[in-house]
Amino acid sequence: MAQPNYLNFDKRSYAWKPEIDYRQQPELYRVGKGEQGVLICEPYKSEIGQYWRFRTKMIAEESSEKIFELFEKYLAAGDFVGADMSRKYLQMGYTRARRYANYKGGRKYDAERDYALLERGTGDPGKAEAALVFYEKWKEAEANLVYSAMKSDWKHAKG
């Protein structure tokens, strides 16, 4: 039976640390996979996270636009960490909204039944529209040539 990966989470070996200011020490930032570090890396978490919403399609549109504006602002300033964190928030908007579209209350596992997978298709269909909004902005960010080059250089140099 598949269980959520957060059950065996090892904070000590996690590449991202909440006590680090990644603007002051960007060399400590790692791209990682997917959304890793998105809810930890300050000051970006606070700067971007305040705009991250996906309750409805309209809210998702406003949210994704604002986050994409931040993405472009960070790129213009040569701040790869900020741009990558913005991209991660866009990706997370998609994945979280999809989870709420698929599962009632966004819960995928039942903690009371040894983390059994809950029934899919019980969620809020409106969240699928919000997910699509974020998906399009996420892919737009990833397709940005300046970002792609910065990401490739960063991963090669720092990880």
pLDDT at 140 over 80: yes
pTM for this entry? 0.89
Question: Do residues 97 and 127 touch, judged by C-beta distance below 8 A?
Answer: yes
Query: What ranges do the domains of the chain cover?
Result: 38-157
Task: Determine the pLDDT at residue 118.
Answer: 73
- CA pair distance 30, 159, nearest whole angstrom: 5
Q: What are the residues whose beta carbons fall under 8 Å from the beta carbon of 149, sequence distance 6 or more? A: none
pLDDT at 126 over 70: yes
Q: pLDDT band at residue 150, thresholds of 50, 70 and 90?
A: very high
Task: Determine the pLDDT at residue 71.
Answer: 98
Per-residue 3-state assignment (H helix, E strand, C coil) for 131-159: HHHHHHHHHHHHHCHHHHHHHHHHHHHCC
> How does the average pLDDT of the chain come out, rounded?
92
- CA pair distance 92, 38, nearest whole angstrom: 9
Summarize the confidence of residues 92-119 as an average pLDDT: 84
Summarised one tens digit per residue, pLDDT across range 11-62 is: 787 889 999 999 999 999 999 999 999 999 999 999 999 999 999 999 999 9
